[in-house]
Structure 1
Amino acid sequence: MKLVIAMLMDGMIYASWLFLIAAGLTLIYGVMRILNMAHGSFYAIGAYAGASLVGFYLAGGYPPWGAYLVLLGAAIFSGIIIGLLVERGLLRFMYGRDEVVMILVTYAILLILEDVIKLAWGVDAYFAYQPYTLLGRTKLVGLSYANYDIALIFISASICFLLWWGLNRTRQGKLLQAVIHDRDTAAFLGINVTRMFTVTFVIGAVLGTFAGALTAPGISVMPGIGIEVIILAFAVVVIGGLGSIGGALTGALIVGLARSASVHLYPEAELFVIYGVMAVVLAFRPQGLFAIATARKI
């Protein structure tokens, strides 16, 4: 029983982290049909901004609980800035191009931003462990878990609900779905498609920086973390189906639980289990488990 609970908890914690990273990536693709490879750099920028600002804040002797607000502010501010710069500064000139071209463009942005990060923060590691340890730990059937990791599960579930509610229960969400299904008709009916694209990309960027800022207290923030996570995020959204929020959640849960089972039962396969799961799913469902149906024009 202890082993089962350990696998479930570890899998849920890892899945919540994966969903935070993949949510912005799949949202941008679902609306704009852009597989944003630069999303990994958004994650890294959020992690660096959160870790460095928390360090400055705590060095000033301010109340430790305020570090959580600093993380949130760093994620939102950096996400809005980088999202607007990338979308308004470059991507808006590329709309209508082939999806492969957009992948190459966003991959180039990823490489550029990785160097920008090194110029801005250097190559030394940043540590902001205080928010992680401040919440303490909880014991469950003899197993100890950081409350920060448990909170991450609830935060991911809340974000998933907010995205679903925003897309399905609000007027703007309905308009956005119209853009997703047929952007030309949506523009003809008076919907400002350009503004929808900008808002969607900024929200996706904020989700990426938010994931990085929340992860920063639990890791060593160093160069290269963005490239590592974009591969994992890509695997998750491919399993769940590109453009589907529910698919991203399902893919994160599948990958998280599969990795946890591998770590506890057969650690040697940890590096391969994620790609093994992806290969099995794609063998039977090449479009992913919950891919959004694409309307065919006749």
Structure 2
Amino acid sequence: MDLASVIRLLLLSAIWGSSFLFMRIAAPVLGPGILIELRVGFAALFLMLVGFAIKKQLKWREHWRHYMILGLFNSALPFLLLAYAAQTLSASLLSILNATAPIWGAIISALWLRQAMPFKKVLGLVVGIAGVAILVGVDSAALSLDAKVAISASIGAAVCYGIASTYAHSAKSVEPFANAHGGMWASTLLVAPAMLFFPIVEAPSANLMLSVVFLGVVCSGVAYLLYYRLISDVGASSALTVTFLIPVFGILWGSVFLNEAVSWNTLLGTSVILVGTALVTGFSPRTVFAARQQTSR
């Protein structure tokens, strides 16, 4: 992986890690419905402008069902669940629980294809669940009813990402930028009714609205462009490294900007979850290097 790709990888990890910080700031004020409608709406408008600039057609009539399914499971539903959880949980915890998405993706893929999971993946699943138990099981604040519901919502979001990744692999081929662009417009339509069930809590400040714009344009729109550029440059295996770096930045931003405590169980639970994710995905520095060698030939 060359220096430019490493910089893009770190930048993408930092951006996606910051999304949990901005949701933690904005969700208690705007509520999940309005916050996520603004997030996906700003992202859709940004990607539309990019699409015009690079002359990429959306082909909505041809692929609208595909965009709706992808938008539901890759953006609308997981974003709403994370925003709901962000009213209660810390940005650090949100980012760590989100890192379990590849584990659920492996389970869903095995069920979808009706294939037995190899022992290594089963072990990774057990290790990942143990990591979640370490992360939340020794924290008395996480044992309250509100926290349990929020933790379940966060894990539900990770499951949605697993469904989305499995569906994307099995669905008909659609150009990656169109997936991001069309998925965001579909999400904008799907999230709109949620605004009726999650009314705004209080009038937002100008700074908070800037955070929401950043969440939509940068954390969703720009982040997708960076991610697909990474896949193009270094391959999917190397791009998967972002999964392991997002919690690092999530914990960092939460600690620096929200004074969230970083306890021993946070660090241990995160490490165990990432080990489980590595086992499930087959990720290792050696596979990244091998993938980079293949793409460079």
TM-score normalised by structure 2 residue count:
0.33
Considering fraction of residues, name the structure with more helix. Answer: 2
Question: Rg bigger for which structure?
Answer: 1
Higher relative contact order (CA 8 A, sep 6+): 2
